[in-house]
Chain A
Amino acid sequence: MPWQVPETRPSILLRVRDASDHEAWTAFESIYRPAIVRAACLKGLQRADAEDVAQVVLSGLAERPIGFTTDGDARFRSWLARVTENAVIDRFRKQGREANLIAESAKDASETDFTSCFDLEYRREVFQWAAKILRREFSTDTWAAFWNTAVENRSVDEVASELGRSPGSIYSSRTRIMRRLREQVQHFDESLEGEL
């Protein structure tokens, strides 16, 4: 009997280490770029500079393929955070002395500060990315049931009567979306669950 390899779908974060996987790259870029920009802005860079930083980091990644390793997503991501932070600090240095001081003090403040800030923006982008994909998979009503009750935390009864549906169907519809959302988020980065 032939040896059966179990079929698993590697996460996009894992696949992106193969620079020729365009689909993974597109998804990765659409999440990672805005995450870098916002994290860099929060550290005090101007928006245009933050966008430059994102460009530098991303083109750096594209030019130097990271290699397809079996390291976990978490390790890869903390490496990404370090690369990004270094790029931000580089930017501050180039901007001259005054900015340099700010950068140094920012760096001194806490090594983990940038990482946690970047991680939050990153998580936000992954969830938004997944939600955008799901938005197309479900009917408008179903999406509204999820969005209004689970995201905007409005009452189920109120939303049910607004949509002309039973409260029970709101429970099932929103859970159906939640289940897919979790699946989609993990499809991007399997390590995220442990950090929520």
Chain B
Amino acid sequence: MTKQADHPTSADLTNLLDETLPPSERDRIEAHLEDCADCREALARQGGEDRWWNAASGLLESPPASHPSTDADLRELQTVLAATDDPRMLGRIGSYEIAGIVGSGGMGIVLKALDPALNRYVAIKILRPSQAGTAQAQRRFEREGRAAAAIVHENVIAIHGVAQFKSIPYLVMPYVRGESLQTRIAEHGALSLKEMLRVGCQVAAGLEAAHQQGLIHRDVKPSNILMDEGVERLKLTDFGLVLTSDEDSVTRTGTLAGTPEFMSPEQAMGKSLDARSDLFSLGVLLWTMSTGRPPFAADSCYGVIKAIVDTEPQSVRSFDPSLPVWWESLIARLMSKRPEDRYDSAESVGSIMRACLAHVQDASKPLPAELLAPRRFFRWRVWLLLGTAIAFLAWLPSMFSLPQDVSPQSESGDVSTIDRPEDTDRPEDTAFEDDTQLQPKGQLTNDWDDGTRERLDAIRARLERFHGDSLGP
């Protein structure tokens, strides 16, 4: 009997696929699926009838047209490369001898190349030949290259030059031997507080330099942070390559980023951005370093975007209770859904984090004032005080009235005033709960939540235009 009651309904299964269930409920249903063949079948049918599963298996297996993506990159590249005399090299771009492919994104391919004039290795980022057909892509690539070249800062990768080869633009940068922060996190998990502060200070400093040039990075994430010599000297890369003001920027960013896990809510929704978008991403970066995994995880790109827009990240202290409360409030403030609730500039974040680092290294140094009195706590206390006062005032007249009037009045007064602080203080949380319980969107009061669903649908439609190279995992 109780077993029967445990079966998820058809709507539950749909919600499971939509990624709209609270984690506990999702885990419960997934555990149930392991034991219940009937529910597995019901779920599979929501994916498609048997003929769909069979077709997928038959038509996708050993895809004749698919190949490893580096092969595809290489083939694409070979349409451009000039012949070289050096048998160890793939070919030539201008005077640079190309040694290999280091990485690739939707818009560009990164190559390791030898600069024969200076006999040193450089990294060359070249616009994908398949993208080079559009004058817009070319102009954008070159414009961003020039903008990034204007930033001279020790925490920003230098641009040696911007040039064209067979009318395809490319950038020349120093070749950084070290691993990326992404590799570091993947291999060693969370970083220590001191290391995180060092990373944070340098990233903030690099962003500050960019913002002063009017450039928004838009793609702050661990794989774009190169570690030359451990965490002591970081270089922010991929500067501004995704910076555009046109509508297409969301898809472009998505193509380059692969997943939008580090995007700000305004960026995920394709709204207009300012420098504070990078501050949100910096917050996500700090969160990721604190826990070893990004805060907004979901199966699909769409799910990640939805999580960024709708949900508050879990507390980093629930992963590691030894992290200080002030660290958590620093991250929470950076990751505010509304840009105006974040810090006002990379400069102020940088100076706060430098003071934090000093405090961590020497406990006699004070924490910055911003972190000593967390705003939320403060506001919460004000509300509580106000609430108590109202409750008291509501209760006061009942002192003088008949006894039977007392209890209902005082109870209702208490309930409403005690509930109030939490409700008013954290509207984002309310939005999160509403959504996970799949209540109608109309109940949301958050002004920036208006039209979210439509925007997500639009983003999803645009994501459909993505083209990958290989199918297998």
Give the size of the chain B interface in residues (CB under 8 angstroms).
52
- A138 and B300 form a contact (CB under 8 A): yes
Of B30, B59, B254, which is within 8 A of A123 by CB? B59
Give the size of the chain A interface in residues (CB under 8 angstroms).
47
- B33 and A173 form a contact (CB under 8 A): no
Which residues of A lie under 8 Å from residue B60 when comparing CB positions? 127-128, 131, 147, 151
- A178 and B55 form a contact (CB under 8 A): no
Interface string of B50-81 (1 = CB under 8 A from A): 01111111011101111000000000000000
Q: Check if A47 is an interface residue, CB within 8 A of chain B.
A: no
Binds A, one of B324-332, B338-346, B366-374, B458-466: B458-466
Which residues of B lie under 8 Å from residue A30 when comparing CB positions? 467
Q: Check if A36 is an interface residue, CB within 8 A of chain B.
A: no
Q: Check if B32 is an interface residue, CB within 8 A of chain A.
A: yes
Inter-chain CA distance A123–B55, complex, in Å, is 9
Q: Check if A175 is an interface residue, CB within 8 A of chain B.
A: yes
Which residues of B lie under 8 Å from residue A147 when comparing CB positions? 60, 471-473
Inter-chain CA distance A171–B39, complex, in Å, is 10
Inter-chain CA distance A180–B302, complex, in Å, is 11
Contacting residues of chain B (275-299) with chain A, CB-CB under 8 angstroms: 297-299
Chain A residue nearest to B304 (CB atoms) is A139
Query: Known: A166-B30, A172-B43, A181-B56. Contact between A137 and B463, CB under 8 A?
Result: yes
- B55 and A140 form a contact (CB under 8 A): no
Q: Check if A98 is an interface residue, CB within 8 A of chain B.
A: no
Query: Known: A124-B59, A168-B32. Contact between A182 and B52, CB under 8 A?
Result: yes
Q: Check if B46 is an interface residue, CB within 8 A of chain A.
A: yes
Interface string of A51-90 (1 = CB under 8 A from B): 0000000000000000000000000000000000000000
Which residues of B lie under 8 Å from residue A135 when comparing CB positions? 468, 470-471
- A171 and B43 form a contact (CB under 8 A): yes
- A152 and B61 form a contact (CB under 8 A): yes
Q: Check if B48 is an interface residue, CB within 8 A of chain A.
A: yes
Query: In the complex, what's the smallest C-beta–C-beta distance from A184 to chain B, in angstroms?
Result: 7
Q: Check if B317 is an interface residue, CB within 8 A of chain A.
A: no
Of A137, A144, A181, which is within 8 A of B302 by CB? A137
- A172 and B30 form a contact (CB under 8 A): yes
Which residues of A lie under 8 Å from residue B464 when comparing CB positions? 133, 137, 184, 187
Inter-chain CA distance A88–B455, complex, in Å, is 46
Chain A residue nearest to B26 (CB atoms) is A172
Which residues of B lie under 8 Å from residue A172 when comparing CB positions? 16-17, 26, 29-30, 33, 43
Q: Check if B161 is an interface residue, CB within 8 A of chain A.
A: no
Inter-chain CA distance A173–B473, complex, in Å, is 14
Known: A144-B473, A175-B44, A178-B44. 19 other contacts (CB 8 A): A128-B63, A131-B60, A135-B470, A136-B463, A136-B467, A139-B297, A142-B300, A147-B471, A147-B472, A150-B56, A152-B61, A153-B57, A166-B27, A167-B34, A168-B31, A168-B33, A176-B299, A178-B47, A181-B52
